[in-house]
Chain A
Amino acid sequence: MRRHLNARFLLLTPAFLFVGGLLLLPLAWMLVLSFVDAGRFSLVHYARMLSDPSYAKSFWLTFQIAGTVTLAAILLGYPLCYWMLRLSVVWQRIVMICVLIPFWTSLLVRTYAWLVLLQRRGLVNTTLQDLGVLNEPVQLMYNVTGTTIGMTHILLPFLVLPLFAAMQRIDKDVLRAAAALGASPIFAFWRVFFPLSLPGLGAGAMLVFVLSIGYYVTPQLLGGGTTVMIGQIIQRNVELFSAWGAASAVSVVLFAIVLLLFYGMNRLVSLDRVFGGSN
């Protein structure tokens, strides 16, 4: 038994050293830094977050964008998954590869693609003009719109993977039973299928929301200078002002929110199902 325990310990040690030393330790240190000002204990960094309206504005904007992105991902992702469920296995695989293509591609590359597509004379504007939807090009980026479009595209696969996996697990006999008992298709969908798919939808939606609130690259590039999300507040505090205490305090609050959301999500669906994708 002892040898067993030792072996397990040895095998886990390297991984634990990496995550402990390069993630948990820095996090603990930031927690300490957030309570220190000029070498002594202080709540000034947290007080500033409450008193300075630019922080409240950024938190509010972050939640707004995260909420919009999540809603957009649900509206696009739910019908997609429902459609995929009806396809043959081969087509399901092909569509799944299409969902995974952006999932594998670098986030920076995809943000760049949107920079090109959404510019004034970009493909989106010219197509909308050719179709007669627009008379003149509209400002689609360097604002909240561009950030939201880019983030929805980047995060959609995170909703689709757990949702589709959840839909696949729904027992088809339940739906046949509903039909046999005289339920109309619409009734059966809303009263039987939709409730059964809710845990998967909830997990996917929360994953998208959690990832959104910590985003940095996409709002920085597609948002212009005006769309300042929490991640950018942290970066500015470090790079522009070398204000480590302030950056740490914002990080602590952001991380606390993220942990809380993951905790809630874990109660809905076990996390490995979410991260494990479509197994």
Chain B
Amino acid sequence: MDAPLGSSRLSNIALGLFGAAVVVFLVLPTIIVVPMSFSNLRYLSFPPAAWSLRWYLEYFNSTEWMLATVVSLQVAICTCVIATPVGVAAAYALFVNPGKATRVVYTALMMPLMVPHIIAAIGIFFVYARFGMNNSVIGIVLAHTMLAIPFVLITTLSGLQGYDMMQERAAQSLGVNRVSAFLKVTAPQIKGSIIAGALFAFISSLDEVVVSLFISGGPTSTLPKRMFVALRDEVDPTIASISSLLIITSLGIGLAAVVASRKKYA
């Protein structure tokens, strides 16, 4: 695009430098942990004084960290598998029936994004305490599914934007029932958005800290919960290796979601 305001060269350069500096501020602190994690010292520095895999070995050889990783992966996969169909079904119903009531339901389903996690966390903790569901994997999965629904809803609705429902009617008039009309005609066309939603559901669960802090514990502690507790007590360098692995995972999943939903970013 041409410069909207034909301002001076100097101010353009200043703007460019400032913009680039902000980009560095955004990206650098996010990824700098990766090279630092290959340090062989307890004290993390950049660049590392000597390179080693010490903290990765520490992580992979620790039964506690491995257990937490398995719990987190289990929870994230279950969350993704449940939240995706639930969210897609809701998005479809909201898209097919626009109207005032729909706006209200939509706002209600978006609530998990608006309520501060600390409030959701203690609310769920209170309810689970009643039913003895604290520290259970199923309890964490249900809570994470609730938190992930808005992500699936947003991506699916944005995929449906501008979609012509007449295509489904045409399929129905040719003798296909509603469900297969959706699965065979609509779903393939919004596949990318659904995949993006599923990926975001997965990553939102994998990264979730605050709710897990309250409702998971002991052998069902999730990876972020263990990391948080470890960080609160002392800065354990093992966290650098775990963080690096999480950063790579998030980046891979984020980029995959962008590619899946094509021109749509988030």
Contacts from A to B (Cβ < 8 Å): 4, 7-8, 11-12, 14-16, 18-27, 29-30, 33, 76-77, 79-80, 82-88, 95-117, 119, 121, 123, 153, 156-157, 161, 172, 175, 179, 185-186, 188-189, 193, 210, 213-217, 220-221, 231, 234-235, 238, 244, 247-248, 251, 254-255, 258-259, 262, 271-272, 275-279
Shortest distance between the CB of A160 and any CB in chain B (Å): 9
Structural contact, A15 and B122, CB atoms closer than 8 A: no
Residues of B with C-beta under 8 A to A12: 89-90, 93-94, 105
Which chain B positions have C-beta within 8 A of A188? 5
Complex Cα–Cα for A88 and B191 (A): 29
User: Assuming A101-B251, A116-B44, is B115 touching A23 (CB within 8 A)?
Assistant: yes
- Shortest A277–chain B CB gap in Å is 4
Question: What 0/1 pattern do residues 85 to 112 of B give for CB contact below 8 A with A?
Answer: 0110110111011000000011111111
- Write out the residue numbers on chain A whose beta carbons fall within 8 Å of the beta carbon of B87: 15
**Contact yes or no, A153 B29, CB < 8 A:** yes
Please encode chain B, from 181 to 192, with 1 for each CB lying within 8 Å of some chain A CB and 0 for all others.
000000000000
Q: In the complex where A109-B243, A116-B235, A217-B228 touch, is A11 in contact with B107 (Cβ < 8 A)?
A: no
List 14 interface pairs A-B (beta carbons < 8 Å), by A numbering: A15-B90, A22-B142, A23-B112, A29-B127, A76-B22, A83-B19, A95-B19, A107-B207, A108-B228, A112-B227, A114-B29, A244-B126, A271-B110, A275-B154
Contact: B118 with A234, CB < 8 Å?
Answer: yes
Q: What does the 1/0 interface line of B3-38 toward A look like (CB < 8 Å)? A: 111111000100110110011011101111100100
- A104: chain B residues within 8 A (beta carbon): 203, 250-251, 253-254
Q: Considering the chains assembled together, what is the distance between the CA atoms of A264 and B26 in angstroms? A: 28
A98 x B6 contact (CB < 8 A): no
Inter-subunit contact A116/B125 (CB<8 Å): no
Docked-complex contact B209 and A98, CB < 8 angstroms: no
Specify which chain B residues have a CB less than 8 angstroms from the CB of A29 in the assembled complex: 123, 126-127
On whether the beta carbons of A26 and B123 are closer than 8 Å, the reply is yes
In the complex, the answer to whether A80 meets B154 with C-beta atoms within 8 Å is no
Closest to A94 in B: B23
Given A11-B92, A27-B123: A278 touches B114 (CB 8 Å cut-off): no
Judge whether A193 and B4 touch: CB under 8 Å: yes
Cβ of A22 and Cβ of B127 under 8 Å apart? yes
**Which among B18, B114, B149, B239 has the greatest number of chain A C-beta atoms within 10 A?**
B114
**CB–CB B247/A109 < 8 A:** yes
A107 touches B209 (CB 8 A): yes
A-B contact count (CB 8 A): 282
Q: Is the CB of A221 within 8 A of B232?
A: yes
Contact residues in A for B42 (Cβ distance below 8 Å): none
Knowing A29-B123, A77-B22, A244-B126, say if A15 contacts B7 (CB, 8 Å): no
Q: Does B266 belong to the interface (CB within 8 Å)?
A: yes
**How many residues of chain B get a CB closer than 8 Å to chain A's CBs?**
96
Q: How far is the CB of A227 from chain B (nearest CB, A)?
A: 14
Within the complex, the shortest CB–CB distance from B155 to chain A, in Å, comes to: 9
A8 pairs with B97, CB closer than 8 A: yes
* Structural contact, A113 and B124, CB atoms closer than 8 A: no
| Chain B residue nearest in CB terms to A89 | B1
Residues of A within 8 A of B89 (CB): 11-12, 14-15
Given known A106-B250, A108-B228, contact A255–B115 (CB-CB < 8 A): yes
Is there a chain A Cβ closer than 8 Å to B71's Cβ? no
Q: Which residues of A contact B43 (CB under 8 A)?
A: 121
Chain A residues contacting B149 (CB-CB under 8 Å) are 15, 18-19
How many angstroms from the CA of A189 to the CA of B254 in the assembled complex?
A: 35
Alpha-carbon distance A84/B20, docked complex (angstroms) = 10
The contact of B86 among A15, A116, A231, by CB within 8 Å, is: A15
Given contacts A104-B251, A109-B247, 14 further A-B contacts (CB under 8 A): A86-B1, A86-B3, A88-B1, A99-B26, A102-B30, A105-B250, A116-B33, A121-B45, A156-B25, A157-B26, A214-B119, A248-B122, A251-B119, A254-B116
Chain A: CB-nearest residue to B106: A272
The smallest C-beta distance from B154 to any residue of chain A, in angstroms, reads: 6
**Could you tell me the distance in whole angstroms from the C-beta of B84 to the nearest C-beta in chain A?**
11
Instruction: Please measure, in the bound complex, the distance between the C-alpha atom of A88 and the C-alpha atom of B157, giving whole angstroms.
Output: 28
B120 at the interface (CB under 8 A from A): yes
Contact with A along B213-229 (1 / 0, CB 8 A): 01000000000100110
